[in-house]
Structure 1
């Protein structure tokens, strides 16, 4: 498994194991098998969050995914570094309270206890207090909050995280569902307070979701921030399993018909075009979608999630696939023909 720089002094495997279905669609036993499979394949990181599992999200299951991972670690599981998240305003934990300097140590203690570890390798803010354009909110996005208050919150939180770094409870810091402005404001606050800089951005990014290709891309390049792309297969859409109206038993669409707002009338022809490209170039469509991330002008890794071990094995089989320049150019032309299909 190849690695990509993370910050100035670390690396992350090109695939990260996503765990958001552990405890709902994925049983604890299968989850532990997936963790072992990831280690065997050379993956060195996993990604989770305090609010997981999803599909569906329920208040009574908050933290269950971290507990399942913690059980694996307690049973001797090793070889995977941990990225997890502190939920932001409007999320289920803490009744939707915002991220503050006061919430950070309390939330982090919960993460550590459930995961049964002493240190989180990458601690991320799951969702900005001020909202985000991610998850299809780009169509009606309006910036929220007052600049001074946002900057003060960043400064306060950066100071709180600096204390956690000093305590040894976190190593790195990242943002999720963030904007270019948010990343730059955080880094300014971190520099002023001695807090940890942003080393990772976890946003949705795939052949079907390329909002990051302009200003975010420039920020990632010049600030040395690594994209941790979630939903690189667009919630399974890019596998082709939902074409012609199919809804396989146990699939995400069987429990979330709109796939989080991704299902639109414009989606089918876009997916068909990418499936045709993969067929014409003799590449598995799953492997094409994941290998494409390696062609980006910024550091980029894929968070690969799977409900089943068979799905994970399929994704892992494409770890060494590379795409020809001709195919990458054809992908860009297809994107121009089918921009933002959801």
Structure 2
């Protein structure tokens, strides 16, 4: 397993991270523990969670993923072997969380304390803000509607100052952002330098063969500033495994169970997926492993966050770490991208 530095932190994380958002919905506690055991056995030291997990979020399952992780830490005693990441959520349809969450000082500190309790630990290695408090383009939103001068968004400076307090208290080691824009990353870095506040070490944004938009405005920026990408949805909700092609809906699969996940399964997405799957088959490679290996191999990617609902999937996904894509495979991937660039932003 390759290890890469998390930003400028000095912390080394595995190039494959264990994602957890199905635990508590599609996966039981025992299955979650089995996945963590296996990941650690395969030298994965980076586990990523969020207070809102599992997804899709709902009041009755809120925090369950972190609770499952907490019981594993308590039973296994392996906390020092894991770089633990989690996230605080922002505005949305979540009245059951803090009466409607924001990224205010008060809410960030409440969120962190609650996560620490559920995770049964006294510190979080990487604490991330799940998405911006302001209205901007994330979660596939297209177009730009202009700035809303009357928007009551919490300032980035207030959020960053709250994170600084958590760092000073020893509850958080390093900080990161998620679903951010180039301006957002620039503002966090500017405020950090100007006010002596903690510097972000990571950005967790979507990145996969159907959505390479990160390359346009953020890749150079984050490479030069050493803010590593933690790539989520590397298989585009499983689309790039090819299992949904030709109208297939495998039993228990994510897009079969939850109709709300429409980001990657549009007409253009299916067409591009078919082409990528064909590239893999032409070269005798598993399509899912090819898609994952591509993400892991990018210079700006610090860690590729994989997720799985079965041990078979998990083992195959982790095995992608050793797959080296040939120049011809990479050229064929680029040819598809030129024909169908970012069909699912």
TM-score when normalising by structure 2: 0.93
- CA distance change for structure 1 residues 186 and 340 in 2, over 3 Å: closer, same or farther? same
Give 1:114's match in structure 2, choosing from 118, 125, 132. 118
The answer to whether structure 1 residue 321 and structure 2 residue 328 are counterparts is: no
The answer to whether structure 1 residue 184 and structure 2 residue 186 are counterparts is: yes
Residues 1-342 of structure 1 correspond to what in structure 2 (within 5 A)? 1-8=1-8, 9-54=10-55, 56-78=56-78, 79-92=81-94, 93-137=97-141, 139-146=142-149, 153-257=155-259, 259-342=261-344
- CA distance change for structure 1 residues 234 and 162 in 2, over 3 Å: closer, same or farther? same
Contact conserved, 1:49 with 1:84, CA < 8 A, in 2? yes
* Counterparts of 1:165 and 1:314, CA distance in 2: 37
* Counterparts of 2:58 and 2:197, CA distance in 1: 33
Please state whether the residue corresponding to 1:302 is helix, strand or coil: strand
Contact conserved, 1:130 with 1:144, CA < 8 A, in 2? no
| Unmatched 5+ stretches in structure 1 | none
Tell me how far 1:20 sits from its aligned partner: 0.3
Task: Say which is worse superposed, 248-257 or 45-54, in terms of deviation.
Answer: 248-257
Contact conserved, 2:53 with 2:64, CA < 8 A, in 1? yes
- CA distance change for structure 1 residues 155 and 135 in 2, over 3 Å: closer, same or farther? closer
Please tell me the root mean square deviation across aligned C-alpha atoms, in Å: 1.8
Contact conserved, 1:159 with 1:193, CA < 8 A, in 2? no
* Counterparts of 1:319 and 1:300, CA distance in 2: 13
Query: After TM superposition, where is structure 1 displaced by more than 4 Å over at least 4 residues in a row?
Result: 143-150
Tell me how far 1:97 sits from its aligned partner: 2.8
Deviations 1:39-74 (A, max 9, x none): 0111001100000111x3211211111001001111
How many residues align structurally?
Answer: 339
* Counterparts of 2:29 and 2:15, CA distance in 1: 25
- CA distance change for structure 1 residues 334 and 256 in 2, over 3 Å: closer, same or farther? same
Tell me how far 1:143 sits from its aligned partner: 4.9
Tell me how far 1:305 sits from its aligned partner: 0.4
* Counterparts of 1:299 and 1:340, CA distance in 2: 18
TM-score when normalising by structure 1: 0.94
* Counterparts of 1:69 and 1:36, CA distance in 2: 11
| Unmatched 5+ stretches in structure 2 | none
